[in-house]
Amino acid sequence: MTPFKTTASRPSIIGGSSDGQLRRLASVSSTQPNLQQVYDGMKLYGVLKDEQATLRVELSKHADCLAEFICELQEVDDKGKEMVTFSPLIQQTDQGMFNAQDSSLTSSILMRLTSLIEQMGIKLAVMEDRAVEVKKNLINTRSSLEKTLQNTEDKLYQLDSKLSAIDSNAIQENVLKKKEN
């Protein structure tokens, strides 16, 4: 998990901005699970434990208090697919420090939910594609069965005609034999 500070006056994080740039502040990861440092007047604290990351940024400059911060979460699923999500960080005053843990937990949960929703969207798209394939296969199978049924009906009709002809011939032969006797 990595927090970033935007360097433009008001860039759009969601839609992106050509004039807004992100400045990486710090990071916690499986290779660096603990963080405690000062960077450009900001105190940075972070912990990654039991697949849950917590980051806290203490601001001392007024300009930093007006800035926008975002957090990047990089995850790798069981299949090795990497997912990256961005979420805005919520700024709190000193009175809100008691709830900072709750806020970071909420942000963490929101980031996780966003990631899960994206994964569900991908899986749903795959399922929709498979449903279309199954529908096409069913249509092809139905068409094939209808052709087979029609061919069988035609053959039965031909067989019935031949049997009728054989019966007619047998009856005529029988009649001729009786006349001869």
What pLDDT, on a 0 to 100 scale, did the predictor assign at position 32? 86
- The answer to the question of residue 123 being in a domain is yes
**Mean pLDDT for the chain?**
78
| pLDDT-based confidence at residue 1 (cuts at 50, 70, 90) | low
- The answer to the question of residue 28 being in a domain is yes
- The answer to the question of residue 52 being in a domain is yes
Q: How far is CA 70 from the centre of its chain?
A: 23
Please state, for a pLDDT cut of 70, what percent of the chain lies above it: 78
What pLDDT, on a 0 to 100 scale, did the predictor assign at position 113? 82
| pLDDT-based confidence at residue 16 (cuts at 50, 70, 90) | very low
Summarize the confidence of residues 17-37 as an average pLDDT. Answer: 76
- The answer to the question of residue 24 being in a domain is yes
| pLDDT-based confidence at residue 63 (cuts at 50, 70, 90) | confident
- The answer to the question of residue 144 being in a domain is no
- Domain extent at residue 77: 2-127
CA distances in angstroms from 162 to 122, 151, 159, listed in the order given:
60, 16, 5
Q: Rounded distance, CA 58 to CA 65, Å?
A: 9
Give the model confidence (pLDDT) of 91-121 as tens digits.
666 554 445 455 555 666 777 788 888 889 8
CA dihedral 95, 98, 100, 105 (to 10 degrees): -150
| pLDDT-based confidence at residue 11 (cuts at 50, 70, 90) | very low
- The answer to the question of residue 174 being in a domain is no
- The answer to the question of residue 154 being in a domain is no
What domain count does the chain have? 1
60 Cβ neighbours under 8 A, 6+ residues apart = 41, 42, 43
Give the model confidence (pLDDT) of 124-140 as tens digits.
999 999 999 999 999 99
What pLDDT, on a 0 to 100 scale, did the predictor assign at position 101? 53
CA atoms within 13 A on the CB side of 56: 18
What pLDDT, on a 0 to 100 scale, did the predictor assign at position 103? 58
Residue 25 tokens, joined: 């502040």
